[in-house]
Structure 1
Amino acid sequence: MYKSVTEIRIRYADTDQMRFVYNGKYLEFFEVGRTELLREAGLPYAEVEKHGYLLPVTEAFVKYLKPARYDDILVIETTYPSMASAGLRLEYRVFRKETMEQVAEGYTSHVFLKADTYRITRPPEFFIKKLEPFFKSDD
């Protein structure tokens, strides 16, 4: 398992008329977590693209547990639970930093596409080599 933790502060623009974080924003928060997880693993998304691959989202799920509000600092915990032979699934938990109360959880699923053909492919070797060391102790 590989895990990354990052924080974001809720801006006024992130909230809706009820003064809660707008539900669609959580998918953006997941993207922040996903981007940081890959960057910390030595795979910034720009490098994935430079190698000729794309990682589109094929499925997304969010479960809202408690409302987050303006000026809250949220902790986004992103987990890559296991290496898969095809695609990528990341799991997310979102906490209010002040109390560490969980406000949301979810996951996103992705496939690898060759950027030139848009054909689905297995995870490329460079990707596997970068992440494999993080899973050695899980055996």
Structure 2
Amino acid sequence: MYKGSTNLKVRYAETDQMGIVHHSNYYVYFEAAREDFIQGAGISYRDMEEQGIMMPLVETQCRYMEGAKYADKLIIETNIDELSPAKVALQYSVIREADNKVLAKGKTIQTFVDSKSFRIINIKKKYPDIWEKLEALKQED
């Protein structure tokens, strides 16, 4: 299975009064990692949107084990948890580079919809080329 890797550095503006990354920023990190992950398949969000595909979030979750702090260098590892013609579930691990400690784990579920009607589409039937690229990410070892 393909595992994406995104490197980020915690900015001061992302921290709260305690000097810890505010919990809402993890979802921004997941979004950056998700975009990098999809690019690993040779697909970009922009290309998908230009073809009429959107991927709205339908579910998110995050479990925080330890707070990241200002200037921490983070690695967000991403992989496919589940893939069907109607949706994709991705898992994320937020790792502090300095000690390789997992700080948080998350998951997002997105559905594939037509950008005009916003109705769920079967990406395997309607866009087989994109389906094959996504399926390849799940199959890689």
TM-score (norm 2): 0.92
How much is the aligned-residue C-alpha RMSD, in angstroms? 1.4
Q: What are the equivalent positions in structure 2 for 1:1-139 lying under 5 Å apart?
A: 1-123=1-123, 124-136=127-139
Aligned length: 138
Change in 2 beyond 3 A, CA 1:20/1:136: closer
Note the C-alpha offset of 1:136: 4.3
Residue 11 to residue 89, structure 1, CA distance change in 2 (3 Å): same
Instruction: Check the 8 A contact 1:2/1:81 in 2, yes or no.
Output: no
Segments of 5+ residues of structure 2 without an aligned counterpart are: none
How many Å apart are 1:80 and its aligned residue?
1.1
Amino acid at match of 2:90: L
Note closer, same or farther for the CA distance 1:137–1:105 as it changes in structure 2 (3 Å cut).
closer
Q: For residues 19 and 137 of structure 1, what CA distance do their matches in structure 2 show?
A: 39
TM-score (norm 1): 0.93
Structure 1, unmatched stretches of 5+, are none
CA distance 1:47–1:22, shift in 2 (3 Å) = same
Counterpart CA distance in 2 for 1:137 and 1:16 is 39
- Which runs of structure 1 show a deviation greater than 2 angstroms over 4 or more consecutive aligned residues? 131-138
Q: Deviations over 1:78-98 (max 9, x none)?
A: 111343232010000000000
Cα distance in 1, alignment partners of residues 111 and 30 from structure 2 = 16
Q: Deviations over 1:52-78 (max 9, x none)?
A: 010000000000000100000000001
The change in CA–CA distance for 1:34 and 1:137 in structure 2 (over 3 A counts) is: closer
Q: What is the aligned-residue identity percentage?
A: 33
